[in-house]
Amino acid sequence: SKNKERLCPSPSSDTPTAPPYGTGDLGGSARRKNATRETTSTLKTWLYEHRKNPYPTKGEKIMLSRPGGSLLEAPS
């Protein structure tokens, strides 16, 4: 074991490195907002009603993504 090859060479001074976790700047205004109780309630209601097949259609995804999206569906 004279001259062991390094499997992962150490980064050189010109290799960019990522900032430590949680310190990255996301442009200031791109802050994550917490979900409201109304939003989570809407999603939980939909999930409960569709528990046998919890995969929303494209239209349901759009409806669920709207702020204050209503779960009332038009009569068919």
Each residue's pLDDT tens digit, 10-25: 555 565 666 666 655 5
Does some domain include residue 11? Answer: no
Domain of residue 54: give its range. 36-67
Does some domain include residue 54? Answer: yes
The predicted pLDDT at position 32 comes to 75
Does some domain include residue 30? Answer: no
33-47 burial, b at 16+ Cβ within 10 Å, e below that, comes to eeeeeebeebbeebe
Does some domain include residue 7? Answer: no
Res. 53: pLDDT tops 90:
yes
Considering only residues 52 and 2, tell me which one the structure prediction assigns the higher pLDDT.
Answer: 52
Res. 63: pLDDT tops 70:
yes
Total tally of structural domains belonging to the chain: 1
Structure-token pair, residue 65: 């993504």
